[in-house]
């Protein structure tokens, strides 16, 4: 049998289902940082993020023990989906869930940009721009903030984002479009330069 450190997340999940508790410990240690960062970014409160993180792993354990996990090579996406659902349940309970449906024409073909070679000055400017963007992202509605985080910080495809959040790809694209429009509006209102050098 393979050493736990050599096993994939899917193999660890199956080993845990078969009774190997150390396999779950390895799953937790591999995924906790990325998952907690995602939760904290969305809810913006460390205590709440701790609670949601713990509830997520309780649900993971329960689903694994109930045999509700089928290995597909996407354990991380499955885990993120559970966390997303826990977050959305919390927002619904707080009546803060204000998802705005995007219109049918979510055309993002007119958006683009280039990143040019960096110099010392451009590194400083880019760092400031990214800092400003991060602050403005905190002001976005939760669904928009979530899709931006998944796309740019976790480098997920729109298909993966759609699967994780339980919406269509068009809705994911629409949320990204509205997030970008909101970020641009905030930048104009506060005279913030968003052009990377």
Interaxial angle between packed helices 21-43 and 75-94, expressed in degrees from 0 to 180 and rounded to the nearest 10 = 50
Contact 9, 125 (CB under 8 A): no
Taking alpha carbons only, the member of 131, 129, 152 closest to residue 37 is 152
Q: For residue 32, give both structure tokens.
A: 């906790």
Q: Dihedral, CA atoms, 155, 134, 112, 105, nearest 10 degrees?
A: 90
- Output the pLDDT for position 3: 86
- Output the pLDDT for position 21: 87
- Output the pLDDT for position 83: 93
- Output the pLDDT for position 124: 67
Taking alpha carbons only, the member of 53, 38, 37, 2 closest to residue 23 is 2
pLDDT tens series, the chain, 197 aa: 578 888 999 999 999 999 888 998 999 899 999 999 999 988 889 999 999 999 998 899 888 888 888 877 788 889 999 999 999 888 877 764 444 445 555 544 444 444 444 456 666 666 777 777 778 888 888 888 888 888 877 888 888 888 888 888 888 888 888 888 888 888 888 777 666 55
Cα angle for residues 180, 181, 183 (degrees, 5° grid): 60
- Output the pLDDT for position 195: 62
Q: For residue 136, give both structure tokens.
A: 């403005």
Check residue 151 and report its DSSP letter.
Answer: I
- Output the pLDDT for position 136: 83
Locate tokens 């993180």: which residue? Answer: 53
Check residue 153 and report its DSSP letter.
Answer: I
- Output the pLDDT for position 197: 53
- Calpha distance 63→59 (Å, rounded): 6
Q: For residue 134, give both structure tokens.
A: 């991060």
Contact 12, 24 (CB under 8 A): yes
């Amino acid at each position: 049998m393979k050493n736990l450190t050599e096993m994939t997340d899917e193999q660890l999940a199956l080993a845990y289902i078969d009774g190997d508790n150390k396999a779950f410990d390895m799953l937790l240690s591999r995924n906790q940082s990325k998952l907690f960062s995602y939760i904290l970014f969305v809810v913006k409160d460390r205590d709440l993020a701790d609670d949601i993180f713990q509830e997520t792993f309780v649900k993971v354990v329960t689903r694994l023990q109930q045999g509700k996990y089928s290995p597909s090579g996407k354990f991380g996406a499955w885990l993120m989906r559970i966390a997303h659902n826990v977050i959305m349940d919390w927002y619904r309970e707080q009546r803060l869930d204000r998802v705005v449906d995007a219109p049918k024409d979510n055309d993002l073909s007119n958006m683009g940009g280039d990143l040019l070679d960096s110099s010392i000055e451009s590194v400083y400017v880019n760092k400031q721009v990214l800092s400003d963007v991060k602050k403005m992202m905190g002001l976005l509605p939760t669904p928009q903030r979530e899709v931006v985080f998944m796309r740019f910080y976790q480098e997920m495809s729109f298909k993966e984002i759609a699967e994780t959040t339980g919406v269509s790809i068009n809705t994911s694209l629409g949320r990204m479009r509205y997030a970008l429009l909101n970020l641009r509006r905030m930048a104009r209102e506060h005279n913030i330069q968003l052009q990377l050098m």
